[in-house]
Amino acid sequence: MSMYDRAKPGNGPLDGLRVIDLTRARAGPTCTRQLADMGADVTCVVDPHRRYLGGSDNNNLQRNKRSMELDLTDDRAREAFFRLADRADVVVENFRPAVKDRLGIGYGVLSARSPRLVYASISGFGQQGPYANRPGVDQIAQGLSGLMSVTGPPGSGPWRVGIAVSDTAAGTFLTQGVLAALLARERTGRGQWVHTSLLEAAVNFMDFQAVRWLTDGEIPPQEGNHHPTVAPMGMFATADGHVNVAPMARWEAFAEALDAPELVTDPRFNDRDTRMAYRKEVAEIVQARLTTATTAHWVERLNAAGCPCGPVLAVDEAFADPQVEHLNVFSMVPGPDGGELAALRLPLTFTDTPAAVGAGPVHPGYHTREILAELGYDQAEVDYLAGSAGQLPRCLRQTGEEG
């Protein structure tokens, strides 16, 4: 049996943890989805006046969670939210910074009621500062962080990264922050406020490109599909496709596997520094050799020589790859309208407390009555809270938008 067989739900490392999810869009739901996959009981509190998007993206973000509708501008509904928060371990939100306080559900209010509560926030640009209350989305953060300036072919102008990288990075950083705050609570007995932003996450993900400026005073240029500081590491065409090549083994072993002895005898390519100085020339030699055979040939030959090499695949090809298949990277879950949906699993393997995708997505508010009953409300109050959600027109509400 493979260690990557799809896990059954019910015994995750966060089993017993109660999380309230006030998030929308992508960054916040990414955090709460990760917590849910690790076994937390995640309850989404949904704005009943907000349009339901549905679709594969929403389904993947919202599976493994329960959902209830509450109009937080209604005093009685807000009191129900307080009752829910009083028994929670974590509240996660990604409103613009001012919105949570305007709604009366900010960190100060909730922590005063429940000092052990971990309150987690994502915004576009941070909780304070000149941009704090601007609306923020992934591509804005990509541009502001410098990420787009180092992406794409040289001289082509800024390019967006092909995924919502600041959203997923911010969501993942917030998951780490929540787990660290819960661990600190074990020592101190107190919860705390942990927050990040799309901009902070994007700048942090710049990593070595950022410190090239901070430490070396160098503004990193675009390098396209080639490594910024190592040559000839990058993507090259083959006879029938493309490969990524990383000659990390002995240079002589790479040259031999490539049938390119001149890479060893030519003094321009003697060491890493000279290869960077003549990166165009060394890349031309490598490219000329790689076009003489197929992708499969070079993947086998170069890896056998200790030089990392892999094909460049389309998404459908990636999911058909035998290693991806072996890793069981997705699970089938029930859809909100019947049938089954594919959902990406958390890419972590726990030997004793496995993470799992246990439940599919549901329509907003699906569990409203169930959760209100758990909170101790009688039938009349359940009927009011479940039925009043749609009474206030959206145009009259002032909840603001997410970070």
Specify the CATH class of 18-209+330-396 in words: alpha beta
Longest dimension (CA), the chain: 86
Chain center to CA of 31: 7
The reported pTM is: 0.92
Query: Quick check: is 383 catalytic?
Result: no
> Beta-strand (E) ranges in 187-286?
193-197, 234-237, 242-245
Residue 391 pLDDT: 43
- How do the pLDDT tens digits run along the chain, 403 residues long? 577 877 777 789 999 999 999 999 999 999 999 999 999 999 999 999 888 778 999 999 999 999 999 999 999 999 999 999 999 999 999 999 999 999 999 999 999 999 999 999 999 999 999 999 999 999 999 999 999 999 999 999 999 999 999 999 999 999 999 999 999 999 999 999 999 999 999 999 999 999 999 999 999 999 999 999 999 999 999 999 999 999 988 999 999 999 999 999 999 998 999 999 999 999 999 999 999 999 999 999 999 999 999 999 999 999 999 999 999 999 999 999 999 999 999 999 999 999 999 899 999 999 999 999 999 999 999 999 998 654 433 333 333 334 5
Residue 388 pLDDT: 64
Catalytic residue among 47, 101, 167, 240: 167
Residue 1 pLDDT: 59
Distance CA 151, CA 146 (A): 9
Q: Domain boundaries in the chain?
A: 18-209+330-396, 242-311
Residue 2 pLDDT: 73
Quick one: DSSP state of residue 380? H
Is omega for the bond preceding 232 within 30 degrees of 0, making it cis?
yes
